[in-house]
Amino acid sequence: MSVLRKSSVFVLCAALSLLSVILPARAQDKIHIVASFSILGDFVRNVGGERVAVTTLVGPNGDAHVYTPSPTDAKKIADAKLVVVNGLGFEGWLPRLVKSSGGKATVVTATQGIAPRKLDSHEDPHAWQSVANAKLYVANIRDALAKADPAGANAYKANAEAYLAKLAVLDNDVKAAVASIPKARRKVISTHDAFGYFAAAYGIEFIAPQGVSTDSEPSAKDIAVIITQLKLSKIPAVFLENIADPRLMRRIAAETGAKIGGTLYSDSLTAENGDAPTYIDMVRHNIKALTSALTS
Ligand SMILES: [Zn+2]
């Protein structure tokens, strides 16, 4: 009897230790990572997989240019091992937040190594709008995760490889979609200047009444210039943005007769039930909206 009991204890112990190997890490064992905004959060989830717990500060449809952090955000940063940021002047509110959190998180700049597009004296932060750049974001995140959690390096490498392959397909699909638009029609108006990297990578011209940030309103003169330009160059479509007030674009469309081509997702993903819950969904939504407005 006692032999039987001993052996069942042994079997139980063996089963438990086997379970701890095959079960995913418990929530408290995961590497806590804060991403400054939703698009970065999606990249980190794809590379980090089961080993990480990701929190984003600026959530779905939020505008990171003009975000006001809350005390909860400082708490999230205090608990994190890594804080992944875009850089290029996108999150002007972040350095102070990191400092005030008192945490020891390492700040990782996901745009490291990307040549910034410049507008006057400002760097354009919207580098993610070129899929080739998104691949560099992913490589930077993979390397930062491997450094912070060496035991997971192989997992991060495999996850990144799988995701990078999806991004390569996406990049080719965008190029093929743009090729289907007649050259003379490859121009649109969007609310703020968020598509400069997209324009440079894929050859669609974007004109925007608002600059590379949303922190200032366009002047009456800026709007008048856009309206004249729109009439002269017969720009076929005007696009709304998920993070911007649609009234200005509706007015421009009404004054020029250009049609509203739909909504573009520029600086933020949507919630799970929206059109763009992931980066890949966002790019696919945008290119579909552009091609259907410009080819019809
Ligand atoms: Zn923006």
3-state secondary structure the chain: CHHHHHHHHHHHHHHHHHHHHHCCCCHHHCEEEEEEEHHHHHHHHHHHHHHEEEEEEECCCCCHHHCCCCHHHHHHHHCCCEEEECCCCCCCCHHHHHHHHCCCCEEEECCCCCCCEEECCEEECCHHHCHHHHHHHHHHHHHHHHHHCHHHHHHHHHHHHHHHHHHHHHHHHHHHHHHCCCHHHCEEECCECCCHHHHHHHCCEEECCECCCCCCCCCHHHHHHHHHHHHHCCCCEEEEECCCCCHHHHHHHHHHCCEEEEEECCCCCCCCCCCCCCHHHHHHHHHHHHHHHHHC
Instruction: Give residue 189 CA to ligand 1 midpoint distance, Å.
Output: 14
Amino acid at 21: V
Is the pLDDT at 11 greater than 70? The verdict is no
Q: How far is CA 11 from CA 18, 20, 22, 31, 151, in A?
A: 10, 14, 16, 32, 29
Q: What pLDDT was estimated at residue 186?
A: 95
Q: What is the pLDDT of residues 184-215, one digit of tens each?
A: 999 999 988 999 999 999 999 999 888 888 88
| Mean pLDDT in residue range 257-279 | 95
pLDDT at 1: 43
**174-295 and 31-173 share a CATH fold:** yes
Rounded distance from Cα 5 to ligand 1 centre (Å): 66
Going from N- to C-terminal start, the domains of the chain cover 31-173, 174-295
Fold of the domain spanning 31-173: Rossmann fold (3.40.50)
Q: How far is the CA of 193 from the centre of ligand 1 (A)?
A: 7
CA of 191 to the centre of ligand 1 (A): 9
Lowest mean pLDDT among 42-46, 149-153, 237-241: 237-241
Q: Are 201 and 172 in contact (CB under 8 A)?
A: no
- pLDDT grade for 21, boundaries at 50, 70 and 90: very low
CA of 16 to the centre of ligand 1 (A): 50
Q: Separation of 168 CA from ligand 1 center, angstroms?
A: 24
Q: Which two tokens stand for residue 264?
A: 């573009």
From ligand 1's centre to the CA of 156, what distance in Å? 29
Question: What CA–CA distance (Å, rounded) separates 235 from 26?
Answer: 54
Q: How far is the CA of 143 from the centre of ligand 1 (A)?
A: 26
pLDDT at 140 over 80: yes
Output the CA 155–ligand 1 centroid distance in Å.
32
What is the distance in A from the centroid of ligand 1 to the CA of 9?
Answer: 60
Q: Say yes or no to pLDDT of 270 above 70.
A: yes
Whether the CA torsion 275, 246, 266, 62 is positive or negative: it is: negative
> pLDDT tens digit string along 57-113?
999 999 999 999 999 999 999 999 999 999 999 999 999 999 999 878 999 999 999
More reliable by pLDDT, 207 or 139:
139
Pairing of strands 122-124, 117-119: antiparallel
C-alpha 226 to ligand 1 mean position (Å) = 19
Å from CA of 241 to ligand 1 middle: 10
In the reported structure, the alpha carbon of residue 124 is separated from the centroid of ligand 1 by a whole-number distance in angstroms of 8
With tokens 């717990």, the residue in question is 53
Percent of the chain scored above 90 by pLDDT?
A: 70
Q: Which residue has the higher pLDDT, 82 or 2?
A: 82
Place of tokens 């990578």: 201
Section 129-147 average pLDDT: 98
Handedness of CA 238, 215, 284, 61 (dihedral sign): negative
Fold of 174-295: Rossmann fold (3.40.50)
Distance 216 CA to ligand 1 centre (A): 12
